Structure 1
Amino acid sequence: MSNIVSFKPFPIDKLEPDYSNWIVYSTQMETCVMASGLVRHLDGRAVAPTDLKYDTTKRKWLDKEGKIAGDDVVEAFEKKLDEWTQVQAHIKSQIFFSIPESMLISVRSLPTAHDIWEAVVKEVESRSDLYIMDIRTQIMTKKPESEAKLPEHLDSMKKLRERLTGMGSSMTDAEFNAAINSMLRKPAIPQIVDMGATSHFSADRDNFITFRPIPPAAIQVADGRMLYATGRGDLK
């Protein structure tokens, strides 16, 4: 365990309260522990030294046969115990300083770094599905307050999609474009469908022989209104 002297906390991202950056966070955490040569303490393979047992009545270290251990044996054991404790504290601090306070309160009393990390993983896994469902619902149902705020709303939708990716989920281009098209079909948001030639547009998708959704593209018409092309194809 001589490598503990060189252990230094790595600057990793703090885990967001909604776990939206879990993939990045967990990857950084596991990598920094591996880089320090201490991964056994995180995955549970490392075991605390148990050669001696402290007798609080006699105030002496006893060996496995119950006999008082000699000074040399005690010194060697306490050195191993100190190293174990130091390594554990290093990893615990890396976790504690990078998780939300509410999570810290619930895991701080667990005995080992492995127990703490395991609890963090279980907590994220148990709640991430709910967060993912909520984000997907927001993408599919949330509407802009007005036409003027549409660009801001589209940017918000993109950020929500990025959060899904950070949580280990994903939304395909087809799903995302469908959500955008659904939002644009509301009466308050005018839309047009581009057939590929700059002089021909149609607001009725049924007029197309072929159709391919595209990310909304803003087009200002002669009367000053802002319309949005949401697809491209060949007109009948």
Structure 2
Amino acid sequence: MDITLPSTSSALFNVPKLAEDGSNWITYKERTLTAIGARGLMHYITGCAVRPAPISLPQEDDGTEVTDAEIEAFEKKMDEYYQKDSLVKQQIFSTITDRLLLRVQKLGSGSNVWAEICDIHEGKTELVQIDLRRRLQETRCEENGDVKTHFSEMLQLHVLRP
């Protein structure tokens, strides 16, 4: 069976923007990790991707020289590494606010960027839970209101709960 992956411009990889207040962090995180995993780039976000080791320069006592083929192979590996890491960063950068982008853009690798965004928002998760619980408790059906709509709103708040 032939499994063909969609192109990287596919709507399959579209992830809604992370809210400024991080209120959608839990669903954003899951969608982002799924989109990156679907591209086969998970090791670039976890920090497990290894940058190619540089070519050793010739040693005076060794006498061997680096060949053009070795240089070309090294450059190809470096290009592939940076392209894949940039895909991870592009996926993240296209779904965060400009303010957050300015904060994380200089962190280098995609894994460093993702780790910083996680650090920023993981602590907010408890606050989001408390706020959702409060909103759920305060939700009331208006006098002569539509009960179906009320239950739908309550269900939506319940589903958002982490």
TM-score (norm 2): 0.72
CA gap 1:130/1:92 in 2 versus in 1, 3 angstroms: same
Please show how residues 16-165 of structure 1 align to structure 2 within 5 Å. 16-52=19-55, 62-63=56-57, 69-140=66-137, 151=145, 159=153, 162-163=156-157, 165=159
- How far residue 112 of structure 1 moved from its aligned partner, in angstroms, is 0.9
C-alpha RMSD over aligned residues: 3.3
How many correspondences in the alignment? 150
CA gap 1:108/1:74 in 2 versus in 1, 3 angstroms: same
Contact 2:105–2:113, Cα closer than 8 Å, also in 1: yes
Counterpart residue identity of residue 130, structure 1: L
- How far residue 64 of structure 1 moved from its aligned partner, in angstroms, is 8.6
Contact 1:19–1:124, Cα closer than 8 Å, also in 2: yes
Aligned to 1:8: 8
- Aligned equivalents of 2:58, 2:118: Cα separation in 1: 36
Please show how residues 171-210 of structure 1 align to structure 2 within 5 Å. none
Counterpart residue identity of residue 14, structure 2: P
Larger relative contact order (Cα-Cα within 8 Å, sequence gap ≥ 6): 2
Instruction: Find the structure with the greater CA-based Rg.
Output: 1
Structure number having the greater strand percentage: 1
Contact 1:30–1:39, Cα closer than 8 Å, also in 2: yes
Aligned to 1:199: none
TM superposition outliers: structure 1 runs of 4+ over 6 Å: 155-158
- Aligned equivalents of 2:136, 2:112: Cα separation in 1: 36
Bigger drift between 124-133 and 108-117 goes to 124-133
Where does structure 1 lack aligned partners over 5 or more consecutive residues? 1-5, 53-61, 169-236
Of all paired residues, the percent bearing the same amino acid is 28
TM-score (norm 1): 0.52
Counterpart residue identity of residue 81, structure 1: M
Counterpart residue identity of residue 162, structure 1: Q
Contact 2:52–2:78, Cα closer than 8 Å, also in 1: yes
